[in-house]
Copies of this chain bind each other. A is one copy, B any other.
Amino acid sequence: MDAANILRNRGLRVTKIRVAILEALGEGLQALPYGDLQKKLSQFDRTTIYRTLLALIDKGLIHKALEENNESYYALCSDCTSNLHNHNHVHFKCNECSSVQCLHISKEVGLSIPEIVIDSIEITAKGTCSTCLLTH
């Protein structure tokens, strides 16, 4: 399904920047830092990028994969709806090239701590990505 229809399905109007952001993240697994998005979308106002990201997150089309060194990485959602956000997959960041990707693997981590209630668990893995392994 193309970006325009994806937007319509979530009750969002089809606008240039929304299509542009979805297409920028279009590869699927790869997450992009905000700075990269801003460069790719330099024809749009910064505020619009900001509000568009909020809208797409709200509708379950994208999610913030991780936040590190004051940089937020965004990626497409794979199976979220407007009402149900489901991001309990693993995020991986390469220490060499700083790339971030969503690893859609199911990983159950049972954690039980006395006196507190745990609702969700986020896992971030770090290491070396396949691309960087090749160039070694």
Residue A84 CB within 8 A of the other chain: no
Residue A118 CB within 8 A of the other chain: yes
Q: List B contacts of A67 (CB < 8 A).
A: 67-70
Residue A54 CB within 8 A of the other chain: no
Q: List B contacts of A74 (CB < 8 A).
A: none
Q: Count the A residues whose beta carbon is within 8 Å of the partner chain — how many?
A: 32
Residue A1 CB within 8 A of the other chain: no
- The complex places the Cα of A109 from the Cα of B70 at a distance, in Å, of 26
- Number of this chain's copies in the assembly equals 2
- Proximity bits, A98-136, B CB within 8 Å = 1, else 0: 000001010101010101111111111111111001000
- The complex places the Cα of A125 from the Cα of B105 at a distance, in Å, of 18
Q: Is the CB of A128 within 8 A of B119?
A: yes
Q: A67-B68, A90-B111 are in contact. Are A126 and B122 (CB under 8 A)?
A: yes
